[in-house]
Structure 1
Amino acid sequence: MKPSPVSDPDSELGTLICGRNGVASNQEASFGEQFSEFFSGILHTEDWPPRWYCGNWSDFHGWLYILSDLGIWAAYFAIPLLMLNVLYKRKDIPFHGIYLLFVAFILLCGITHLMDAVIFWWPAYRLSALIRLVTAVVSVFTIYALYKILPSVFSLRSVSELEAEIRKRHIVEEKLAASEFLLSEAGKISRVGGWEIDLITRAKTWSQTVYDIFELPYEYSIDHYNPIKQVQPPYRDTLKKAIRAAILTGLDWDMELTIVTAEGKTIWVRSTGKVLYDPNGKKVKILGTLMDIDRYKTNEIALSQSLELTTQHIQQLKNFTHILSHNIRNHASNMVLISSLVETEALDEYNAALFFKMKNVSDGLNATLEDLSQAIKIKENPVRSEVISFREITEKVLDIFESDLKVNNVKVEQIYETERISFPHIYLESILTNLISNAIKYRNPDKNATIVLRTYRNEQLKTVMECRDNGLGIDLELHGNKIFGLYKTFHERKDAHGVGLFLTKTQIESQGGQIQVESQPGKGSVFKIIFNE
């Protein structure tokens, strides 16, 4: 409330103090005296009357001033409290120092307004001046600190930018969740799981598929579970050595082993492991995969056993074939030998005819056995390859047929785009002999016979030898599936035996190659030998 009115002498004193009458005496004192007087009388109020008496204040004007200052002080006091509460609950807010400077600045501003209201009754002008000085100093420091952090403030993203970032992250998280779901489902379908061991904390992490492989519930605690104990001997020691080597030397491992699941099942799994390093090169983790391969491994073992049994059967058949071939050839040779000792002149006409038929059968049987024996030898004992010249081998074979080529007026053209090949020279001679012999034998009498021998590389960059003629040709629609069969002939010639193409195909396939044929009746044939280098 407003103080009681003062007497006339006091009013005159107030007028003297609030007026300029005392200025000269204060200015006569030195700065040091003024400074000392200021702080020694910081709370003295004798030099001023209350503000009510310093001027002509009406009740309305005075209380409006006082209540306004008190309202500003209350607000300035509440704001710092709220800011401190925010800082206490949200320690992640940046620029804590700036917040505290603003708290001090606002609080001091509020105290200056409180002092303005108090001075109406308690004229502590010196204390008010000191508070204003502290407020000014804190204000300057606040401005300087705020200026220093402006670049950091400007670098902060706006709300719209943060919202856009949140939307992007939400989309990425959805895609990541979808990818994780697909990866998890793929792992479950393929029965491949992942695991991780922290070498520092010894913490273990498994994917759900690993739990499925061990037949453990997902909530099962694996901290004290030792999966190595589930590995069966002798794989257990092998796995222990692999893990020890990984920890000591950083070596990876990839092995197949058997484990016993929690349900007591024994299954085959494939285990892989790899060491991870931190930026300083220290081993920090081992991670790997565990794959259920029981179905494939079981099939592989069954197939291996079946293959082994088949191999035994094949070997038995080979042995039987050799024995049978040897015995039959002995009997056939004996029959040929005996027939050569018979004096046919002593036989009558009927018996002589029967004997010659028997001799032809014996000679044919012996020849057939010889051809079969040669084919079996080619398949069982392939000849070692060597680098040879197409030109040299071809010239050697053509020398053999020199007289036949001249007599039958056969022209031979040679084109060598590829000069050399890795192939057994004895096989190449045999192949060229058979092909050139057939080209001469089955020439078209109505044309000038030509043979074109060409070597080149096809689209698959494999070496091809091509023998092209303009002879009688073969009806492939009629004979295509038996053209390389043993004793298969396609023209009425007495000297045709049907062995040459069979041996040619056998020799080529024994080296991993293949033979192809193109032919039309009356237009000739093209045989292509595709080598497997």
Structure 2
Amino acid sequence: MPFSKDTVACYSLMHLYQLEVLFISSIEINTPLAMLNELFSTDGFPERWECGVWSEAHGWVHILSDIAIWAAYMAIPFVLFYTIKKRPETPNKTLVYLFIAFIMLCGLTHLLEALIFWWPAYRFLGLMKLVTAVVSVATVIMLVRAVPSVIKYPTKIAFEEEIERRADSERKLAESEDLFRTAMRYAPIGKALVSLEGKFMLVNKKLCELLGYSEEELLRQDFQHLTHPEDLDADLDCLKRTLAGEINGYSMEKRYIRKDGKIVHSMLNVVLIRHDGEPQHFVSQILDISTRKRLMQRQEKLISELAQRNRDMQQIVYVASHDLRSPLVNIIGFSTELNASASELQKKLLKSDCLDEQARAILETDMPEMLQFINTNALRMDMLLKGLLRYSRLGRYTFTIQQIDMDQLLGELLQGVSFQLNEVGAKVEVGLLPNCYGDKVLVGQLFTNLIDNAIKYRSSERTLVLKIKASTEGDYVRYTVSDNGQGIDPKYQERIFEVFHRLNPSEVDGDGLGLSLCSLIARRLEGDISIDSKFGVGSNFHVKLPRDQSIITERADAISNASTDHSLYSFK
């Protein structure tokens, strides 16, 4: 038997209510007060500052963003409620009230997300999210039920016809000078009637405030004398084309010069009024965009400064790591020589009978261990500095973007590591790989690092099986590199792409930069890399790369507009 919409809605709400009851009942309680205490208890949960490696800036970005979202979500219901009070005839009030409740609950969850940095009340947050889910589903159900009535509203064509009818009425009303003057006087933006010669015929109060002149002063002026000299020719050219009938009107960004000499940035819209085919006058509408221009200029400046600081930081890292290697090379060289000299000295002294047991222990055990420790750590530091140099160079590397034959590329990469794969007896399975766009060298480096990781972190209990497959997702290709190796514990998965982070530094050699470089390469190519892994079972690395060149072109254009470095990308 088919169910009605009300029956489906009731069942949905009933199920969500049961989930809420299960959530609350999962908390061990004896009394309502105990339930309340347990609900707000933070036992077993650390403050979010203690979860992961938060920088102060990173944490406060989350906190302030959640607070800002909460504030906005709190403001929206008050606006809706005020609207309902002012317009009691508003239809679907129940739906509006549900929206108010839904938005307020969403805001509350964001506020709790910010508070959890100090007050980890995850139980209470979970309850609030569950309540939000219930209200959300109820809102969706009400919204679906309201769709039929909304569909009955006038169509776009009907609205367009109504707009055209009203526009025609407004043109007729414009013939009445008194009504037109009233509309002009109270307009929220600058408006003026301008003669064919450019003289102001009628101006409103807003335009007078914008330009700093009285109405009488403006009526003695023409727009040519108030226009910035650099914008005048473009304005006059559009004016001539309008008079010639090539265009009906025009819009342009234009600067005016106020009476006090200050510059006003505005958006100008001009329409020519004709009567019986003959031009009569212009109607000009002027919107002040000075504040918006200042904000845009400030944004561009901040983006430029950020790009410059990024370049400075890359240069500092490069110089520091490069210069640190010079004394390190000397340490490695002299420690090697010292080790050789110590060995010769050891041989000669041990032949002597004048050494006691303690001296012999120092010569035979302690000194070789200390020299080996110095040499090993110096070589380790040298490897880290070389990795840091590679990482910093990638920030200044010019990407050569081209279409990449991934079947060919992976074939070449697997051929290059065939010795290592054969040595561990690995089995390799490769599916059909769609092409993508990117830098062939760096995409090759990305997949080489993933294959090397699979070999390094293979399980000693089973034969390594390496699988590479792909699928398309919109404008991207998703490549998956899977292995049946050691796997990664979930608590470490968020950190594996961090610089210098290594899972088993005592068991596997490396500089801790392989996956960091993979992440940087993917992001520079407008892609992404992620992982899902199960400890003791294996790992799946997912690499998303664009299959549409325009995606990378947009990034290249954005970087070029935001900085003076235009050579980060080249295209074949």
Residues 1:384 and 2:400 are matched in the alignment: yes
When the two structures are aligned, how many residues end up with a matched partner?
350
Gaps of 5+ in 2: 1-161, 174-179, 347-362, 550-572
In 1, the alpha carbon distance for the partners of 2:195 and 2:436 equals 57
What residue is the counterpart of 2:378 in the other structure? 362
Measure how far apart 1:200 and its partner are.
Answer: 8.7
Which of 223-232 and 193-202 deviates more?
193-202
In 2, the alpha carbon distance for the partners of 1:386 and 1:266 equals 50
SS of corresponding position for 1:472: coil
CA offsets 1:9-40 (integer angstroms, 9 cap, x no match):
xxxxxxxxxxxxxxxxxxxxxxxxxxxxxxxx
Q: 2:450 aligns with which of 431, 435, 442?
A: 435
Counterparts in 2 of 1:369 and 1:436: CA distance versus 1, 3 Å: same
SS of corresponding position for 1:531: strand
Alignment of 1:23-38 (within 5 A): none
What residue is the counterpart of 2:480 in the other structure? 466
CA offsets 1:325-374 (integer angstroms, 9 cap, x no match):
33212222233333444424224434443322222222122111110111
Measure how far apart 1:407 and its partner are.
Answer: 4.3
Alignment of 1:518-529 (within 5 A): 518-529=532-543
- Pair member with larger Rg: 1
Is the contact made by 2:186 and 2:205 (CA closer than 8 Å) also made in structure 1?
no
What residue is the counterpart of 1:479 in the other structure? 492
Is the contact made by 2:184 and 2:203 (CA closer than 8 Å) also made in structure 1?
no
Question: What is the Cα-based RMSD across aligned positions, in Å?
Answer: 3.9
Residues 1:199 and 2:196 are matched in the alignment: yes
Counterparts in 2 of 1:311 and 1:397: CA distance versus 1, 3 Å: closer
Counterparts in 2 of 1:288 and 1:362: CA distance versus 1, 3 Å: farther
In 2, the alpha carbon distance for the partners of 1:299 and 1:332 equals 49
SS of corresponding position for 1:463: strand
Q: 1:214 aligns with which of 211, 225, 228?
A: 211
CA offsets 1:286-342 (integer angstroms, 9 cap, x no match):
445322112122233334444444555444444444433332122222333334444
Alignment of 1:312-461 (within 5 A): 312-342=308-338, 343-344=340-341, 345-348=343-346, 349=363, 350-416=366-432, 418=434, 420-458=435-473, 460-461=474-475
SS of corresponding position for 2:399: coil
Counterparts in 2 of 1:289 and 1:250: CA distance versus 1, 3 Å: farther
What residue is the counterpart of 1:259 in the other structure? 257
Gaps of 5+ in 1: 1-167
SS of corresponding position for 1:381: coil
Q: 1:504 aligns with which of 513, 518, 532?
A: 518
In 1, the alpha carbon distance for the partners of 2:478 and 2:275 equals 56
In 2, the alpha carbon distance for the partners of 1:510 and 1:374 equals 15
Q: 1:230 aligns with which of 218, 226, 230?
A: 226
Q: Report the residue type matching 1:435 in the other structure.
A: L
Is the contact made by 1:508 and 1:514 (CA closer than 8 Å) also made in structure 2?
yes
Q: Report the residue type matching 1:518 in the other structure.
A: D
CA offsets 1:380-429 (integer angstroms, 9 cap, x no match):
113212222111111111113324334444332222252x1222221122
What residue is the counterpart of 1:11 in the other structure? none
In 2, the alpha carbon distance for the partners of 1:421 and 1:487 equals 29
What residue is the counterpart of 2:176 in the other structure? none
Alignment of 1:279-294 (within 5 A): 286-294=282-290
Is the contact made by 2:425 and 2:464 (CA closer than 8 Å) also made in structure 1?
yes
CA offsets 1:68-116 (integer angstroms, 9 cap, x no match):
xxxxxxxxxxxxxxxxxxxxxxxxxxxxxxxxxxxxxxxxxxxxxxxxx
In 2, the alpha carbon distance for the partners of 1:518 and 1:339 equals 44
Measure how far apart 1:432 and its partner are.
Answer: 1.6
In 2, the alpha carbon distance for the partners of 1:444 and 1:466 equals 19
SS of corresponding position for 2:431: strand
In 2, the alpha carbon distance for the partners of 1:404 and 1:422 equals 29
Counterparts in 2 of 1:407 and 1:303: CA distance versus 1, 3 Å: closer
Structure 1 vs Structure 2: percent identity of aligned residues? 17
Q: Report the residue type matching 1:484 in the other structure.
A: F
Which of 441-450 and 290-299 deviates more?
441-450
Measure how far apart 1:430 and its partner are.
Answer: 1.3
SS of corresponding position for 1:393: helix
Measure how far apart 1:470 and its partner are.
Answer: 2.7
Q: Report the residue type matching 1:522 in the other structure.
A: G
In 1, the alpha carbon distance for the partners of 2:464 and 2:257 equals 73
Is the contact made by 1:259 and 1:269 (CA closer than 8 Å) also made in structure 2?
no
Q: TM-score, normalised by structure 1?
A: 0.56
Counterparts in 2 of 1:473 and 1:222: CA distance versus 1, 3 Å: same
